[in-house]
Structure 1
Amino acid sequence: MSEQQNIDNVIQSIQTIVGADYVLTDEADRVFYSMDIWTRGKTAAAVVRPDNAEQLSKVVAAITSAGYAVIARGGGMSYTKGYTPEEENTFMIDTQRMDKILEINREDMYVTVEAGCSWKSLYETLKGSGVRTPYWGPLSGIKASVAGSISQNSIFWGSGKHGSAVDSVVSVDVVIADGTIISTGSAAQKNGTPFFRHFGPDLTGLFTCDNGALGIKSTVTLRLIPELSAHRYAAFDFEDHNGLLAAMNEISRSGLASECFGFDPTLTEMRAQRDTLVNDVKAFTGVLKNSGSVLGAIKDGAKIAMAGRRFMKDLRWPMYIVIEERVEAAAEDALQQVLAIGKKHGGNNVENSIPKIIRANPFGPVNNMVGPGGERWVPVHGLVPLSQAVTITEEVQKIFDKHSATIEQYSITTGFLYNNVSTNCIAVEPLFFWPDAADEIQKDSVEKAFYQKVHKFDENLEARNAVGAIRQEVSDMMSDKGCVHLQVGKSYNYSGGLKGEAFSLVESIKKAVDPKGRINPGVLGL
């Protein structure tokens, strides 16, 4: 029997499980699902769209028993080859049909969702209910799935106080290579429910940040906390990265902000170019809806309307803060502390429209994955101790300076984004923009009206390869300096960067749950 006949037999088998309409074999679909924001993998043999955990279990067993690799894809918003196929004839699992919110348990304070549920869907369901998850999504949450974020890890909403996505996870149900479904946390106990993460060794932690190397998640349970209705906002501008990072670090150590993020001058300028009056009006409407009173809405609206677009003009190294507390007095106290910290480190207090607008519209369109002039975009990042933020920034800048001729030759633009993560960590994220053709994933993800207006570049592989080389040098430097990473995928140095004993243990776990290496082969260096 030929290889193609074997594949056809597997496809027929999984069609009986999920229905023929939910097994995609058209080449365009297979190509699309095999790429991430940065690169294309080998084209998948088929894309399977299960509807529930039982179907997922049967599909995985059917594929792996036939000897083929299987990879799960969530919202597709990553850029580290975390789900791009490395082998020919790989089967992709698209989890987006598994999007249900299965249980909101306000008595025991947890929520269980299916793997493909988006952060935006979860946010909108819980909004106004009196409860929310501690971490509640990345900026790409309109598309990013909960399970995808748990597999790759992510930061932003709530990260300033509550850490990354995996810090809010209580339990997961995960399908391992033979189709067995494993529950973790207190749900692993006979007749247990997913109310507590730790019961013996932390099996929940084992299946987080694994990039889907150890299994494919079917459900995720997250903690709930009381909804925080008292909000304050602040914004500062600093002369250089030293003042910005000193202020961000002190705010992080103090645990004052739900979100604290900063830009360099280049990214600030690009943001000003990107935002249109139409988008400002949409965001302005969101601010009005988000205000706690009619008077508050009028005041907010008047300030933003009078500021116009001046709140982004002539900024150098801006820092933006969102404060959330249960009562107004606590929020005001936190704000006053933040204002004092900003002033202490040389920051000028500026219009706080940016954090207000972003918080009022937390899951907007993902137009940022294309530059304001239609440029291609890709980031690289490192999570660093607070004490190392300045050092890593300056090391990255040295690499940029070293390659200044190449950067100029290919019209590459570089910038920096910073995010606080809990009380002990900051994310340093260099970004690259360059003239190059958009791929299908960018065209599909950004707003159609936005894409129609931006410039369309021809494919520019020389520039793309130049970006790739500089980006890899930055990644290698970060690894040498002891940085860690979200969405490790195949881009960051995990296997080579870990101490040998630690990686040997990871390999042993991989062999236990996936002895033939059929679940996402190659990711994490496994």
Structure 2
Amino acid sequence: MASQALIRDFEDLIGKENVFSSEADRQSYSYDSAVLTPVVPALVLRPTSAEQLGACVKKLYDNGLPMTVRGAGTNLSGGTIPDSSDSVVILTTGLNRILEINSDDLYAVVEPGVITAQFAAEVAKKNLFYPPDPGSQAVSTIGGNIAENAGGLRGLKYGVTKDYLMGIEFFDATGEMVKSGSRTVKCVTGYNLAGMMVQSEGTLGIISQAILKLVPPPKASKALMAVFENVQDAAEAVAGIIAAHVVPCTLELLDNNTIVRVDDFTKAGLPREAGAILLIEVDGHPAQVADDAE
């Protein structure tokens, strides 16, 4: 556990309510969604501004303490589990503001603690579209999405988080601010540090702000379900769809075991006797949607 003097320093810096030093609190941040051995951190900090974040990183660096960055902790790779018991966890959930949604130039500026689904909903209110849709989007954060390069069912057609990151601000291990990228689609100036931060899992720096590309929403969409006797037939159908140059918005295969268990939980009325099903969604211009669905 961190010294009382250091704890008081952080309480003065970010507020007592944002410094978690009790055993129960530290235990809460010793694990994530990966099935790995928990490691209890020495301290947990929750800065609520970029300035506080940079100051926390610098103080930890100056005191020789390792740090682990954590968003919502939904990742499955163990990326938010501390490396050692003297590590300090820095939560980014307090940095949760949408700073700008620009409808003219099709971008948004957000802090790392913004919840993915909430961000997508705010973008939709502006008649715009943010495609990345990880399964954890109801609770996962944009910063975590970047660190893990999160995707989802729409990845086949629209890509994943890396395809929408235009710029980034982050603090390096010493607490120095680093900026990369821009608010323009074409940016060929300097190193692509934003691309380097994607999939870095918090090992290269702590994100304080991100610029994300937005796109116009599709004018129409249609959902379909195709039923097959076995998984092989369903897999061949997937190959046939792509070979026909149809790129669905989403395309999900469920085998019989999955069908039954999903139906037990959701009571959705799925075909429980099917060997496999494909859940498909096509989107775009209404005429094209009709053709693709056919």
Q: Which interval holds the TM-score relative to the shorter structure?
A: over 0.9
- The amino acid of 1:257's aligned partner reads P
Q: How does 1:65-214 map to 2 (within 5 A)?
A: 65-133=62-130, 135-186=131-182, 193=183, 195-214=185-204
Give me the CA root mean square deviation.
1.8
Q: Any conservation in 2 of the 1:13–1:62 contact (CA below 8 Å)? A: no
Residue matched to 2:205: 215
Residue matched to 1:25: 21
2:291 matches 1:333: yes
More RCO (CA 8 Å, sep 6+): 1
Residue matched to 1:35: 31
2:252 matches 1:310: no
Q: Any conservation in 2 of the 1:184–1:197 contact (CA below 8 Å)? A: no
- The amino acid of 1:106's aligned partner reads S
CA distance in 2, matches of 1:215, 1:168: 19
Question: What TM-score comes out, normalization by structure 1 length?
Answer: 0.53
2:251 is paired with a residue whose SS is strand
Question: What TM-score comes out, normalization by structure 2 length?
Answer: 0.93
Q: Any conservation in 1 of the 2:246–2:292 contact (CA below 8 Å)? A: no
Q: Higher Cα Rg: structure 1 or 2?
A: 1
1:90-145: CA deviations, max 9, x gaps? 11111112111011111211111100101111022122422112x33212111000
Q: Any conservation in 2 of the 1:110–1:195 contact (CA below 8 Å)? A: no
Which residue, out of 249, 270, 283, partners 1:324? 283
Residue matched to 2:6: 10
Q: Any conservation in 1 of the 2:153–2:252 contact (CA below 8 Å)? A: no
Structure 1 residue 250: deviation in Å? Answer: 4.1
Which range moved further: 210-219 or 253-262?
253-262
Q: Any conservation in 2 of the 1:39–1:79 contact (CA below 8 Å)? A: no
Cα 1:196–1:31 change in 2 (3 A) is: farther
Q: Any conservation in 1 of the 2:115–2:141 contact (CA below 8 Å)? A: yes
Structure 1 residue 151: deviation in Å? Answer: 0.3
1:127 is paired with a residue whose SS is helix
Cα 1:251–1:129 change in 2 (3 A) is: farther
Structure 1 residue 83: deviation in Å? Answer: 1.1
Q: How does 1:351-390 map to 2 (within 5 A)?
A: none
- The amino acid of 1:70's aligned partner reads M
Which residue, out of 274, 277, 283, partners 2:265? 274
CA distance in 2, matches of 1:137, 1:94: 22
CA distance in 1, matches of 2:292, 2:206: 41
Structure 1 residue 25: deviation in Å? Answer: 1.2
CA distance in 1, matches of 2:167, 2:240: 33
Structure 1 residue 47: deviation in Å? Answer: 1.2
2:214 matches 1:245: no
CA distance in 2, matches of 1:195, 1:13: 42
Cα 1:57–1:264 change in 2 (3 A) is: same
Structure 1 residue 252: deviation in Å? Answer: 4.5
What residue ranges of structure 2 are gaps of 5+ in the alignment? none
CA distance in 2, matches of 1:255, 1:31: 49
Structure 1 residue 174: deviation in Å? Answer: 1.1
Cα 1:331–1:36 change in 2 (3 A) is: same
CA distance in 2, matches of 1:141, 1:179: 29
Residue matched to 1:418: none
Which residue, out of 265, 270, 290, partners 2:256? 265
1:36 is paired with a residue whose SS is coil
Residue matched to 1:305: none
Residue matched to 1:344: none
1:130 is paired with a residue whose SS is coil
Structure 1 residue 229: deviation in Å? Answer: 3.2
1:446-479: CA deviations, max 9, x gaps? xxxxxxxxxxxxxxxxxxxxxxxxxxxxxxxxxx
Cα 1:77–1:182 change in 2 (3 A) is: same
1:367-415: CA deviations, max 9, x gaps? xxxxxxxxxxxxxxxxxxxxxxxxxxxxxxxxxxxxxxxxxxxxxxxxx
Structure 1 residue 51: deviation in Å? Answer: 0.8
Percent identity reads 24
Cα 1:215–1:239 change in 2 (3 A) is: same
Q: Any conservation in 2 of the 1:160–1:252 contact (CA below 8 Å)? A: no
Q: Any conservation in 2 of the 1:42–1:86 contact (CA below 8 Å)? A: yes
2:132 is paired with a residue whose SS is coil
